Structure 1
């Protein structure tokens, strides 16, 4: 890793990386001071967790009372007194809420159902409430850590910048929701300038930054070989692949395969264990203890599980709890290792299928397993054994995996190692095209033809690709697509709204949006103010009378961690550009 340069900004700045995982959350930060080399530090103390030295994570849990007020978050929500009060006063618990933000395209692929959200609470509201809590924790930690912490925080809070992480499968719609949540939580104002203080990075790319910072997989990367990062978390497992390349500006990293997001994290292991226990204990005196036994499994057995040949024990009760038929002795439930392996196996299989479908653009030699679920010895040993036959060496960090993504988020801001990313889908516009009688597809669609404002016959529902799937994209590359609109009145051309579609099917050259219509999704809509251009348009005479034609180009940058847009037009022979806003209609 190249050494960081001293911060050259005119004034101190605070960068906060926030990783809200399905089951646990973590934060890291960097205090940028002019002339000093930046250093990344974790937040290691949270309320009700002060007695645990150096703990970099806190449970992603929120309790609401019956009026909808937040009553406890994080480690506080797990305190026995809080749990007792929650039961007595019928509070509602929000957990795994992050997965409720998942893209609509993944709604049907969850292995099991999620816990419901509290009444009258959206996933966005819960996410915002938890963000507010984490921000409070960061303020508490930093103000107590530094001798002038209170004054320091006040001086930096109004210009603080944030890096939020999300699974590989999250896209612009989810990023828009997360940015809105930062406004709702009071971290930033809801202005253009405020919005610019929030950046996003995938958990896979954040994990790569962590691995580079900690010298992991340096040999294969130095040789130019590809490395796969498997970030195994509570809800999702992110699979990403990168290689190091030399450029005229120094070393950089390129994504060499489409990032994948698997709903196969450790919570699904727990869910499968609960389903097995529910069946096993049905009709017995222990049937009502299934959730408690599953929690005991999570805290002990799941973490210790290594070999299918060994018997596994879940200690959940008192010495007097015995039932030979159910294999319960002295408060311990005995399970065969092979049974426990069935709880884990679907997650292993999902990773192996993802590896088989990776189709990297460069050879791969190493796999790095990170994330909380990556601490599973069974998962690690099975992956190591299975992937060995593919010539892949699997390794994992010895420690600090619980802060990998949060540290990596801040490193993304400071170091920005990745300069090339791979397109996840095929992107383009739906448009009309002039009818061509020699085209067989046009003739077959003649019944759907319409006349435009100029009176010409047009065929609708054509798909015009801007970017194909599996294409390496540099951060600086722009993708342009011509767009025109004809109207009889120029007042109708003062604003344009251009939907950007993503095609998720297997056709390498999709042409019509009414073929496989279920595979086309609106990624976002480009909104642009074209009132100044509309004033310059000249009258034209067509077959149906007078019309006006607006010509412009939509310019998209796909190589960043967020899609960016502009519009361009020609005025007096000179290209001019203007801003455009990406609107995600499903933000709520």
Structure 2
């Protein structure tokens, strides 16, 4: 019953029937990250200015106020419904890490990190990754509500209409976005809107620097996190009466997050101690301590100083002395050069992504008004990363704004508040379309497989029709229509009014004309027209003398959020049901 009510509320919000400014709302944003996660909120009360407030007190981290909590979860081996999470765990704990990346296992891993077997990682989980993510989100949300109820009366918090927004990487596949949404729904976070992480970061970063902005200014936002690095360029459309932005060129990104530094550090230790000692070291207490020391201290403080040395001890494990590797008395001296070698392939990858984005943006901007590169996210706080970017791209200012770590979750809140900051249009990063049997055209279709439809006798060939193209401006609050025509013989059954259509996608520069290897199925759309007035169907006589019914309908795509939302229309009126299956 509760799910039905949430679905009905979501439908009212999406079609504009419910005025979100007409009553008190509690906007809750969740940034579910690879290594750290956060929640921020705002009370949107009519007539009062709303501000984003991050949750900074977390279980297990008492006395340390911070806007993020480690994305860790450890299950009770006797009861998979019991678990500890976040700050309740430390480096000694055997915890699930990086589950976010398992929501999109199709993402290409960098060649400079040790190869990992996704199937083996999935087998280690006590549950499906969606369920693990749901457990973590649920714990975060429950804690956040308890903290929010300490600053406002509980009755008021419970009375407020809840509106949720969840940030996702810009490079995320539509399948991964769908899995993230399913995890959020299982966690009780529903109905929820999705926002791209760099978009949320841009909204917050540019909003707090609004006085320094002018219409026409453009900025590259580089969101460098634990798992992914996303880049999108935004142009300031106007600053009055509120900040309005637009994407300049399609965003880019990759799996170049700081988690790769940890993997490369582990590989370095393995090379230093040798495979035989590495097997024993990894099983014990010593490796957990060393890995934590690198993650929490060494990699965060590294600024490029090659003269600095780090004395690393391995408790409860006896290492063989090795003067060549600077291993003596159970400690190892890691040099600044070795730390740099860990960083450099990852930094090079990020700079490549930034350089590509800058060149695309300058081309679109005709070489003008690209004012800076904003570094946000946890990895974006690295001074070494900033220095390397400045060295490679000296003509554009690199800015590390205050509160860069919490920029995403704060910006996600702002995206749902009126009169603050909005992104008016985005850039398509893929082609989207459908494939259908169309009338044969000579000579273009010569040699292609053909068939003859019995209802019209026309020779047809299968071709692709693209409705969204890479680099196309996708205006917010606008829709894209995919027209379909279905013909079936009379009499027909109720089941025949349920159709399945594949939405195709391609990342090639020029969209393919015919089906082939450069095309993949984005999702399968189920359209149910069983409740549609049959008088809207058009009867026709086939060339074979049989009676047919022709059904014309549109699948309507909304690009208002980071995820696609579909509806079904017949004769311009919304009717029927459309569901998208990404699995």
Please indicate the TM-score interval, normalised by the length of the shorter structure.
Answer: 0.7 to 0.9
Residues 467-506 of structure 1, C-alpha deviations (whole Å, 9 max, x = no match): 1111112113332333211111343652333321111223
Residue 540 of structure 2 is matched in structure 1 by 540
For the 8 Å contact 1:17–1:410, the answer to whether it is kept is yes
- Match runs of 1:319-330 below 5 Å: 324-328=323-327
Residue 89 of structure 1 is matched in structure 2 by none
Q: Summarize the Cα distance change of 1:328–1:340 in structure 2 as closer, same or farther, 3 Å threshold.
A: same
- Match runs of 1:568-579 below 5 Å: 568-570=569-571, 575-578=572-575
Q: Summarize the Cα distance change of 1:488–1:110 in structure 2 as closer, same or farther, 3 Å threshold.
A: farther
For the 8 Å contact 1:318–1:330, the answer to whether it is kept is no
Residue 142 of structure 2 is matched in structure 1 by 136
The alpha-carbon deviation at position 284 of structure 1 amounts to 7.6
Residue 127 of structure 2 is matched in structure 1 by 121
Residues paired across the two proteins, number = 541
Q: Does 1:472 align with 2:484?
A: no
For the 8 Å contact 1:564–1:582, the answer to whether it is kept is no
Residues 360-387 of structure 1, C-alpha deviations (whole Å, 9 max, x = no match): 2324231011111112111111011111
Q: Does 1:272 align with 2:264?
A: yes
Aligned pair partner of 2:233 in 222, 237, 241: 241
Greater mean alpha carbon deviation, residues 517-526 or residues 58-67: 517-526
Per the alignment, in what secondary structure is the counterpart of residue 34 of structure 1? coil
Q: Summarize the Cα distance change of 1:318–1:174 in structure 2 as closer, same or farther, 3 Å threshold.
A: closer
Residue 58 of structure 1 is matched in structure 2 by 69
Residues 538-583 of structure 1, C-alpha deviations (whole Å, 9 max, x = no match): 432222222222123333233543323334444xxxx434365241
The alpha-carbon deviation at position 314 of structure 1 amounts to 4.2
Cα distance between partner residues in 1 of 2:67 and 2:273: 37
Residue 383 of structure 1 is matched in structure 2 by 389
Cα distance between partner residues in 2 of 1:426 and 1:330: 59
For the 8 Å contact 2:28–2:165, the answer to whether it is kept is yes
Cα distance between partner residues in 2 of 1:529 and 1:183: 26
The alpha-carbon deviation at position 61 of structure 1 amounts to 0.5
The alpha-carbon deviation at position 525 of structure 1 amounts to 1.8
The alpha-carbon deviation at position 107 of structure 1 amounts to 7.1
Residue 87 of structure 1 is matched in structure 2 by none
Cα distance between partner residues in 2 of 1:79 and 1:426: 44
Cα distance between partner residues in 2 of 1:375 and 1:145: 30
Q: Summarize the Cα distance change of 1:337–1:466 in structure 2 as closer, same or farther, 3 Å threshold.
A: same
Q: Summarize the Cα distance change of 1:110–1:461 in structure 2 as closer, same or farther, 3 Å threshold.
A: farther
Residue 31 of structure 1 is matched in structure 2 by 43
Cα distance between partner residues in 1 of 2:168 and 2:255: 13
Greater mean alpha carbon deviation, residues 490-499 or residues 315-324: 315-324
RMSD, aligned CA: 2.9
Residue 443 of structure 2 is matched in structure 1 by 440
- Match runs of 1:204-215 below 5 Å: 204-215=198-209
For the 8 Å contact 2:445–2:461, the answer to whether it is kept is no
Residue 504 of structure 1 is matched in structure 2 by 507
Q: Summarize the Cα distance change of 1:427–1:538 in structure 2 as closer, same or farther, 3 Å threshold.
A: closer
Q: Summarize the Cα distance change of 1:224–1:559 in structure 2 as closer, same or farther, 3 Å threshold.
A: same
Residue 13 of structure 2 is matched in structure 1 by none
Q: Summarize the Cα distance change of 1:466–1:443 in structure 2 as closer, same or farther, 3 Å threshold.
A: same
For the 8 Å contact 1:526–1:583, the answer to whether it is kept is yes
- Match runs of 1:391-470 below 5 Å: 391-397=395-401, 399-414=402-417, 415-436=420-441, 439-445=442-448, 448-470=449-471
Residue 302 of structure 1 is matched in structure 2 by 299
Cα distance between partner residues in 2 of 1:246 and 1:183: 36
Q: Summarize the Cα distance change of 1:255–1:135 in structure 2 as closer, same or farther, 3 Å threshold.
A: same
Greater mean alpha carbon deviation, residues 420-429 or residues 29-38: 29-38
Cα distance between partner residues in 1 of 2:372 and 2:199: 16
Cα distance between partner residues in 2 of 1:493 and 1:451: 21
Cα distance between partner residues in 2 of 1:401 and 1:207: 8
For the 8 Å contact 2:431–2:506, the answer to whether it is kept is yes
The alpha-carbon deviation at position 298 of structure 1 amounts to 1.5
Q: Summarize the Cα distance change of 1:94–1:39 in structure 2 as closer, same or farther, 3 Å threshold.
A: same
For the 8 Å contact 2:242–2:421, the answer to whether it is kept is no
Per the alignment, in what secondary structure is the counterpart of residue 440 of structure 1? coil
Cα distance between partner residues in 2 of 1:488 and 1:109: 54
Cα distance between partner residues in 1 of 2:101 and 2:144: 24
The alpha-carbon deviation at position 66 of structure 1 amounts to 1.9
Aligned pair partner of 2:56 in 44, 54, 57: 44
Residues 79-128 of structure 1, C-alpha deviations (whole Å, 9 max, x = no match): 86xx3xxxxxxxx6211000001163647989442682444411100000
Q: With structure 1 as the length reference, what TM-score do the two structures score?
A: 0.84
For the 8 Å contact 2:482–2:554, the answer to whether it is kept is yes
Residues 213-261 of structure 1, C-alpha deviations (whole Å, 9 max, x = no match): 3217x64x41523100111111111111100114998652100121223
- Match runs of 1:553-564 below 5 Å: 553-558=554-559, 560-564=561-565
Cα distance between partner residues in 2 of 1:557 and 1:11: 25
Residue 347 of structure 2 is matched in structure 1 by 348
Q: Summarize the Cα distance change of 1:248–1:18 in structure 2 as closer, same or farther, 3 Å threshold.
A: closer
Residues 182-229 of structure 1, C-alpha deviations (whole Å, 9 max, x = no match): 2322344xxxxxxxx31111110010012023217x64x415231001
Per the alignment, in what secondary structure is the counterpart of residue 234 of structure 2? strand
For the 8 Å contact 1:553–1:568, the answer to whether it is kept is yes
- Match runs of 1:137-176 below 5 Å: 137-146=143-152, 148=153, 150-156=154-160, 159-176=161-178
Residues 320-350 of structure 1, C-alpha deviations (whole Å, 9 max, x = no match): 9876443146765322323221211222222
Q: With structure 2 as the length reference, what TM-score do the two structures score?
A: 0.85
Q: Summarize the Cα distance change of 1:283–1:202 in structure 2 as closer, same or farther, 3 Å threshold.
A: closer
Cα distance between partner residues in 2 of 1:538 and 1:527: 18
The alpha-carbon deviation at position 302 of structure 1 amounts to 1.0
